[in-house]
Amino acid sequence: MKLINKIYDSMDAAVADISDGSSILFGGFGGAGVAYELILALHRQGAKNISAVSNNPGYHEEGIAKLIAYDRISKLTCSFPNAKDSYVFRQKFEEGKIDLELVPQGTLAERIRAGGSGIEAFFTPTGVGTEIAAGKEEREFNGIPCILEKAIRGDYAFIKAKKADRWGNLVYNKSGRNFNPAMAMAGKITIAEVDEIVEVGELDPETIVTPGIFVQRVVKRSGL
Amino acid sequence: MKLINKIYDSMDAAVADISDGSSILFGGFGGAGVAYELILALHRQGAKNISAVSNNPGYHEEGIAKLIAYDRISKLTCSFPNAKDSYVFRQKFEEGKIDLELVPQGTLAERIRAGGSGIEAFFTPTGVGTEIAAGKEEREFNGIPCILEKAIRGDYAFIKAKKADRWGNLVYNKSGRNFNPAMAMAGKITIAEVDEIVEVGELDPETIVTPGIFVQRVVKRSGL
Amino acid sequence: MDKRLLTREQIAKRIANDLQSGDIVNIGIGIPVLVSNYVGPDAEIIYHSEQGVLGMGKKAKPGEEDPDLVNASKEPVTLVPGGSYSHSADSFAMARGKHIDVAILGGMQVSEKGDLANWKVKGVKLGSIGGAMDIANGAKKVFIAMTHTSKNGDIKIVKELDFPVTALRCVNRIYTDMAVIEVQRDGLVLKEIASGFSVEDVQKVTEPKLIIDEDLKEIQV
Amino acid sequence: MDKRLLTREQIAKRIANDLQSGDIVNIGIGIPVLVSNYVGPDAEIIYHSEQGVLGMGKKAKPGEEDPDLVNASKEPVTLVPGGSYSHSADSFAMARGKHIDVAILGGMQVSEKGDLANWKVKGVKLGSIGGAMDIANGAKKVFIAMTHTSKNGDIKIVKELDFPVTALRCVNRIYTDMAVIEVQRDGLVLKEIASGFSVEDVQKVTEPKLIIDEDLKEIQV
C-alpha cells in the first residue's frame, strides 16, 4: 500500500528544490512560531533573490535576518520592519539592497488567508486615509470607506508547529500559532518544522488547527 | 466581584428581546449543528418579518421550516433551498410569501466570515458566468475573472455548540461545527445553544474554536 | 461485438482507476458517490466533504450514527484516522483555494470548453446550488461522471450550454457510459470508448467534433 | 493650588477607572501597558493581544516563560483561565470586526475630528505599523494615553494631523497628564482637568478650541 508520507528526513532535503527568485511566506511573530531550522537550511542551500513575507524582519542575525544579512532576500512584505534589534534589515534597507512593502498586520494576515482561500482581493477599512492607501482603490460600503487589498500567496511557506503526522495535520503551541495557519493555506508548497511527529490518528480531530490538505512537507526539528 | 456571566436561564429569556424585522444567522448544515431549541423559543416568542440566513430552509416542519410555516421569515439567504423535505419553504416561495437570495455555499460562508472580520466585500471566482453574477461587478485579478461579493452580518446569530463556559468560549461536535463559528463572528448578538456548560478554564485554550469575544449569550439545551 | 453501455457502477470504477494514493477528493451526489467503493486497498484517498469534514469515512453503521457527523447528503458517516473538522468558511477555503486534487461531480451538460451545468434543470425557477459552484471552480481537476445522453436521449456534451451554468472552463475529464473524454485547449479528445462502440457511435451523441486520441483504447472496467 | 501634571502611572490609573468588568481590551505600548496594574479586583477584564492571545495574563515569572507565549512587545506572558489562542487572521478579525470593546493606545497627535497619528514620526522614512491601524480602526472605543505636549513642548492635540495618519475619526477619548478630553461630533469636550490647572492652561497647549463640559471636574486618581 502506498501510504501518504509527507515526512522529510532533514531540513536540507525539505528546502533543496527552492530556486532563486522564489516567494516564501515565513510564519512567526517576534520569535514565537518561527521555523528557525528551515531558515538555516535555506541559508545553507543558498537560494537568493527571495521575495519574503514575514511579520518581522528578524532580530540580530537570527531568523530571516540571517538571510537578509547575506543578501538573499530582495523584497520583504512586513508589518513591523523597524524594531530596535532589526538592525540588519534597517542597514540593508538604507543601503537600498532590499525593497519593503509595508502592510498593516491585520491586512497582512487577511491577505495571506485570502491567498489560500480563493479570494483574490477584498475591501477593508484599515489604512484608509493613510500612506498605505496610496495607489489603492477606495470605495464606500454602507458608509464605511474601504481600500482594496490583494491576496498574497507564496511558492513556499515555512511553518513552525508543535506536532504533525505523516498526512501533514498540525497543532501549534500557544501564540506560536500566529501567522502559521494562514500561511500554510497560502503556500503552494508548505513546509512544516515541528517539535514532534505522531502517528496518524493520534491528533484529536477536533483540535487539528491546520488540516494536512494545506501541508506538503513535514520535518522534525533537531533542536540543536 | 462582578464576574462575566453570559449564561441565560432559558431559551425564552435568551430570545426575548428579538424584535420584528431583525436579521438572524442560523447555524447548521442539514440537521447537524442546528440550534433547534432557540428556534422553537423564537417561534413561541413570535417575532416576524425576520431576515434569515441559513444554509438550508429546514426540513419537514423542523428548524427554521417551522418559522417559515408560520410566516415569520420574510427573506431567506440560502445555498440549498430546494431539497425534497424542504416542502414548507417551497410552498411559501411559490406562494410569494418569502423572498430568496440564492448564494453558493462557499460564498455564503465567506460572506459571513467577512461580516465578522471587518471585510466589507471581496472578489472571488465562484459564480462567474452564472446567474449568481447578475448585477455584480466583475473584475479580473491575475487573469482570474471574479465577482464582487458583500459581507453578511446579523442582528443575532443562533449557534449550536457542544460546550461553553460563562465567558462564551465554545467547542463544537464534529461536523456540527459547519457555519456556526463564522456566524458567531458575524452576529451582533450571538446566542449559543449548548449541550453542556463548564467552568471557566476547563476548556483547553488550544482547542477553543469560538473564543468568547464572539458570543454574547449562552443557554443550555433542555434536550426535551 | 455487442454494444455495452457501462453501468453506473462501471463508470464509478473507471474513475476510481484514475485516482492516485494521496489524492484529496471531493465527491458529488449521484454516480460519484459510488467511486469510493472501487478504490483499491493500495491507495490512501482523503475524502473532503463540504460541510467541514476532511477524511470522511464510510457510512455509519446502525448504532454508531452521530447526527453531527454527516455527509453532504445528510447521511450519517464516519471519520477516518487522520481526519479533521473545519468550519464552513475554512472548508470552502480548501475548495476555492485550489487545495482539492479532484472533484468528481455529476453533470447535466458539459461544453467543449469545459463549461459545466449541473445544478438546475433548464427553465426551472427554484434550484439548489450548495457547494457545486465553489467546488467546480476551485478543484485542481474536475471529473464529470454522467450518462452520455439524458434519459430522453438529449445530447449532454454540447458546443454551448443552454442549462444554467455551474462554472466555466472547469471540467478536465468526462466519464460517461460510452466514453472517456478529455477537455483540452483545442477541444474534446476522445481517449477511451466502451466495448463494442465505434467512434461514429460516440460522435453521433456528442455535439462538438471530437478529436480522436492517437492512443484510443477500449474502457477497461 | 499647585499645578501638578499627572504621572504616567496616574494617567494609566485614570483610564483604568473607565474600564468595566467584562470589557475586552487591547493595550498598546507605552503608558497603556501600565493600565492593567490599576484595574480593581472587582473587575474581570479580558486582554486581547494582537498575535493571537485572548485572555492575556501577567508577565511570566522566571522559569515559567514559554517563547511561544509572548505579548505584542515580545515579552513572555501568561494566559488566564478562560483564555484562548487564535491565528493572526482570526485575531485581527476580532480587532477589525468591531469585537474589541476598548483599545488603549499611545498617541503622537490627535486631531479634533478624532484622527490619530501614533505609528511614525513626521519625516522619518522607515516606520513600523504592526497592528496599530487595524486596531485603531476596528475597536469599538479608542482611548489615547499620552502626555499633553511633546517633550520639546509641541502641541499634540491639533486641528489637522501633520504626522503620518494611523486611522481617521477613530479616537473617543484622550487621557493626558493635564486633562481628559472626549471627541464628540461637534468638537473636543474638556471633561476633566488635572489638579491646579485652569481651562486656560489646557487651552493654551491645545490647538482646537475646547468645548467645556458643564460638569467639568478635577481628575481623581
> C91: closest CA among C156, C127, C123, C138?
C138
> Three cell numbers at C75?
447521511
> Does residue D54 belong to the interface with chain A, where contact is any CB pair within 8 Å?
no
Q: Taking the C-alpha atoms of B51, B55, B58 and B62 in order, what is their torsion angle to the nearest 10 degrees?
A: -90
Which residue among B122, B171, B205 sits closest to A119, beta carbon to beta carbon? Answer: B122
Q: Cα distance from C40 to chain A (closest Cα, Å)?
A: 9
> Does residue C81 belong to the interface with chain A, where contact is any CB pair within 8 Å?
yes
For the stretch B153-189, pLDDT in tens is: 999 999 999 999 999 999 999 999 999 999 999 999 9
Written as one string, the DSSP assignment of C44-75 is --EEEETTTEEEEEEEPPTT---TTSB-TTS-
> Does residue D128 belong to the interface with chain A, where contact is any CB pair within 8 Å?
yes
Active-site pick, C50, C112, C200, C218:
C50
Q: Cα distance from A18 to chain B (closest Cα, Å)?
A: 23
For the stretch D7-20, pLDDT in tens is: 999 999 999 999 99
Contact D46 B4 (CB under 8 A): yes
- Beta strands (DSSP E) in D21-163 are 24-27, 46-49, 53-59, 77-85, 102-106, 109-111, 116-117, 141-145, 157-158
- Residue D71 has a pLDDT of 86
Rounded to an integer, what distance in angstroms lies between the CA atom of residue D110 and that of residue B215? 33
CB B213 within 8 A of CB C88: no
Q: Phi then psi for D113, rounded to 5 degrees?
A: -90, -5
| Higher pLDDT among residues D59 and A50, named by residue | A50
> Three cell numbers at C76?
450519517
pLDDT tops 90 at residue D30: no
Fold of the CATH domain B20-102+153-220 = Glutaconate Coenzyme A-transferase (3.40.1080)
Which residue among A93, A109, A129 sits closest to D92, beta carbon to beta carbon? Answer: A109
For the stretch B13-72, pLDDT in tens is: 999 999 999 999 999 999 999 999 999 999 999 999 999 999 999 999 999 999 999 999
For the stretch A155-171, pLDDT in tens is: 999 999 999 999 999 99
> Does residue C51 belong to the interface with chain B, where contact is any CB pair within 8 Å?
yes
Rounded to an integer, what distance in angstroms lies between the CA atom of residue D103 and that of residue C24? 43
ipTM of the prediction:
0.97
Helix (H) or strand (E) holding A108: helix A105-116
DSSP code, position B66: H
Cα R_g (chain D), whole angstroms:
17
CA atoms within 13 A on the CB side of A64: 34
pLDDT tops 80 at residue A222: yes
Residue written as cell 538592525? Answer: A87
> Three cell numbers at D76?
513572555
Rounded to an integer, what distance in angstroms lies between the CA atom of residue B22 and that of residue B12? 16
Which parts of chain C have pLDDT scores under 50? none
Mean pLDDT of B200-223: 97
Contact C21 A3 (CB under 8 A): yes
Query: Which residue of A130, A159, A172, A196 to mutate against D (max D Cβ within 10 Å)?
Result: A130
CA atoms within 13 A on the CB side of B93: 20
Q: How many CB atoms lie within 10 A of CB B91?
A: 13
> D166: closest CA among D188, D192, D138, D189?
D138
Beta bridge partner(s), residue A170: A164, A210
- Residue A1 has a pLDDT of 64
Starting at the earlier edge strand, list the strands of the sheet with B138-141: A138-141, A144-150, A121-124, B121-124, B144-150, B138-141
**Is C50 in the active site?**
yes
> Does residue D29 belong to the interface with chain A, where contact is any CB pair within 8 Å?
no
Starting at the earlier edge strand, list the strands of the sheet with C157-158: C116-117, C109-111, C157-158
Rounded to the nearest 5 degrees, what angle is found at the Cα of D85, between the Cα atoms of D80 and D86? 150
pTM: 0.98
Instruction: Report H helices in chain C.
Output: 8-16, 88-96, 132-138, 199-204
Rounded to an integer, what distance in angstroms lies between the CA atom of residue D216 and that of residue D221? 16
Mean pLDDT of D180-201: 97
Amino acid at A180: N
pLDDT tops 90 at residue D213: yes
Cβ neighbours for B199, distance < 8 A, ≥ 6 positions apart: B165
Rounded to an integer, what distance in angstroms lies between the CA atom of residue C213 and that of residue B103? 39
pLDDT tops 70 at residue B1: no
Q: Which long-range contacts (CB under 8 A, 24 or more apart) does C117-126 make?
A: C117/C161, C117/C163, C117/C164, C117/C165, C117/C166, C118/C28, C118/C144, C118/C166, C119/C164, C119/C166, C120/C163, C120/C164, C121/C163, C122/C162, C122/C163, C122/C164, C126/B81, C126/B82, C126/B90, C126/B93, C126/B94, C126/B100
Domains of chain D: 8-218 (3.40.1080.10)
> B25: closest CA among B82, B90, B85, B78?
B78
The domain spans of chain B are 20-102+153-220
Q: Cα distance from A204 to chain C (closest Cα, Å)?
A: 8
Rounded to the nearest 5 degrees, what angle is found at the Cα of D211, between the Cα atoms of D206 and D213? 120
